[in-house]
């Protein structure tokens, strides 16, 4: 019996070594939302996929649905987190990853949330060498929009509802109301009770 192979872009939220050479990888995918996937023998020296499983990397994965868990049959790196490791961009991606792990329930795709993640990685790629002056503002916008897409944000702020997350108008709105945005982010996370 053959199994359907699904291909989807994803970010690697977390990895955990299993048994002698396997790995459990938690992914946030465009197509399926949050999923848990296993990789067989990935830590062996002969494995070609082992170099593409860095936490916070943007990848495209080939998946097969197993009985209890997804299985990764292929992985193709689009943007390695090693390129921005040790920068404030890595810290920002890690914060977003933590919120996704905490608030996402199982397999449920959120198209607009995925678009925001893509926009964040495009911004990281553009400025990965240096620290953006507006790093804290980008973090507030991203966390606010993530909470909104997942149903934990109330309000009509332009920076949350705008189709383009990281534009000058959104930066200005957040800079002028930073304290209020931080309070609303904390309220949204607390409201989730997760």
How are the residues of the chain apportioned to helix, strand and coil, as percentages rounded to the nearest 5?
Answer: 45, 25, 35
pLDDT of 19 above 80: no
**The pLDDT value given to residue 53:** 77
Q: In this predicted structure, what is the pLDDT of residue 51? A: 61
The domains of the chain are located at 5-81, 82-192
Pick the CATH number of 5-81 from 3.30.70.890, 2.40.50.140, 3.55.50.30, 3.40.50.300: 2.40.50.140
Chain-wide mean pLDDT for the chain? 87
**Dist CA 104 CA 35 (whole Å):** 10
Report the pLDDT averaged over residues 170-186.
Answer: 93
Spatial distance between the Cα atoms of 23 and 79, rounded to a whole number of angstroms? 20
Q: Does residue 121 sit in helix, strand or coil?
A: helix
Write the pLDDT tens digit of every residue in 118-166.
999 999 988 765 555 688 999 999 999 999 999 999 889 999 999 999 9
């Amino acid at each position: 019996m053959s199994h359907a192979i699904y291909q989807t872009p994803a970010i690697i939220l977390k990895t955990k070594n299993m048994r002698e050479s396997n790995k459990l990888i938690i992914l946030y995918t465009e197509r399926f939302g949050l999923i848990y996937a296993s990789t067989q023998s990935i830590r062996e020296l002969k494995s070609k996929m082992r170099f593409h499983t860095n936490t916070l990397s943007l990848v495209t994965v080939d998946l097969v649905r197993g009985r209890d868990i997804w299985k990764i049959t292929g992985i193709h790196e689009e943007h390695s987190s090693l390129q921005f490791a040790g920068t404030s961009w890595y810290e920002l991606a890690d914060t977003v990853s933590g919120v996704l792990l905490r608030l996402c329930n199982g397999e449920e795709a959120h198209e607009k949330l995925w678009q925001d993640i893509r926009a964040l990685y495009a911004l990281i790629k553009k400025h990965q060498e240096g620290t953006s002056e507006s790093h804290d503002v980008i973090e507030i916008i991203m966390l606010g929009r993530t909470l909104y897409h997942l149903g934990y944000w109330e309000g009509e702020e332009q920076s949350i509802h705008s189709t383009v997350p990281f534009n000058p108008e959104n930066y200005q709105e957040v800079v002028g109301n930073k304290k209020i945005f931080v309070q609303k982010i904390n309220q949204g996370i607390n409201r989730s009770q997760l």
